Amino acid sequence: MSNKIIIAIDGTSSTGKSTLAKRISKKLNYKYIDSGAMYRALTYYAIHQKYISKNHFDKIKLINDIPYIYIDFRKNSTNNKYEVHLNGIPYENKIRSLAVSNLVSEIATVDELRQQMVRVQHTLGLKKGVIMDGRDIGTVVFPDAEIKFYLEATMELRAKRRFDELFQIDKNITYEEVLANIKLRDNQDTNRKHSPLKKAKDAILINTDNLTLDELELKLFNYINPLITKNL
Ligand code: DC
């Protein structure tokens, strides 16, 4: 019998958090929740409503819309993955663009929005058996998570990984703009006032630079396995 726990994975962008979280969730039959997708869906909404652009952000209008914005995760019956929905509409395919990436950290500074996202995240974790990745999962969302990981990697390697991913969908993208976006988001995510990205004191630090995905997965399972089998 296995003991269901909450697994928190934090770190800067493109450190491999979501890839590893997806793999682990599949093996454990846990729900994988990509908390960044929630901030991305909010950003897509704000762009669409013309509340935010490169030089303008009408925070108040977005905050006023909070009661009308319902974000949740629903299982896609074709691939069995939990995907972010905003007011019942799937947003997964619209939120990975550089246009969204360039504005999402600004959206993520707004405390009122964060509080609402954290409420949803708490509900998702009520029954445990959840692996959630993001920036504040081990520090703010689930400070009592049974296990927390903090992933790091060099900026250039992260930009290369993200560039390779984005280039598959957009052949006009350049490595330089991806690197600039990663620098911008690192800066905004770690220096913001509310729930900045930082390693929780009890998080296990994992450097992903020189390890393959299989090696990383094994490494994380070495920490996870004793916790999920301890109540046998
Ligand atoms: O994980 P990601 O790169 O898709 O996240 C997009 C942005 O959302 C990230 O730059 C900061 C924000 N974010 C956050 O502030 N808190 C989280 N728990 C997850 C993401």
Q: Is the four-CA dihedral 200, 7, 84, 70 of positive or negative sign?
A: negative
Looking at the CA of residue 104, tell me the nearest atom of ligand 1: 7
pLDDT digits (tens, 9 = 90+) for 2-33: 689 999 999 999 999 999 999 999 999 999 99
- Work out whether the CA dihedral 32, 33, 37, 41 comes out positive or negative: positive
Predicted confidence band at 232 (pLDDT cuts at 50, 70, 90)?
Answer: very low
Band the pLDDT of 53: cuts 50, 70, 90. very high
**Model confidence at 1: pLDDT above 70:** no
Residue 231 has pLDDT above 60, yes or no: no
- Going along the chain from its start, the domains and CATH numbers come out as 6-227 (3.40.50.300)
**Local confidence band at 81 (pLDDT 50, 70, 90 cut-offs):** confident
Q: pLDDT by residue (tens digit) across 142-187?
A: 999 999 999 999 999 999 999 998 899 889 999 999 999 999 999 9
What atom of ligand 1 comes closest to residue 192's alpha carbon? 15
Give me ligand 1 centre to Cα 111, in Å. 14
CA of 213 to the centre of ligand 1 (A): 21
The letter for the amino acid at 107 is I
pLDDT given at position 159: 96
Span 128-142, pLDDT tens digits = 999 999 999 999 999
Q: What atom in ligand 1 is closest to the CA of residue 39?
A: 8
CB-side exposure of 149: number of CA atoms within 13 Å? Answer: 26
CB 38 within 8 A of CB 120: yes
Nearest C-alpha to atom 9 of ligand 1 is from which residue?
105
Is residue 41 pLDDT above 60, yes or no?
yes
Longest dimension (CA), the chain: 56
Place of tokens 């995510």: 189
How many A from CA of 127 to the centre of ligand 1?
23
CA distance linking residue 7 with residue 135, whole number of Å: 13
Residue 194 has pLDDT above 50, yes or no: yes
Q: DSSP letter at 68?
A: G
Residue 39 alpha carbon to ligand 1 centre in Å? 6
* Nearest CA residue ID for atom 6, ligand 1: 36
How many angstroms separate the alpha carbon of residue 110 from the centre of ligand 1?
Answer: 12
Pocket of ligand 1 (CB under 6 A): 13, 35-36, 39-40, 104-105, 108, 134-137, 185, 189
What is the pLDDT at residue 79? 86
- At 49 the pLDDT is 97
Whole-angstrom distance, CA of residue 201 vs CA of residue 221: 20
The pLDDT score that the predictor gives to residue 230 is 63
Residue having the nearest C-alpha atom to atom 20 of ligand 1: 36
Q: What angle do CA 108, 121, 6 make, to 5 degrees?
A: 120
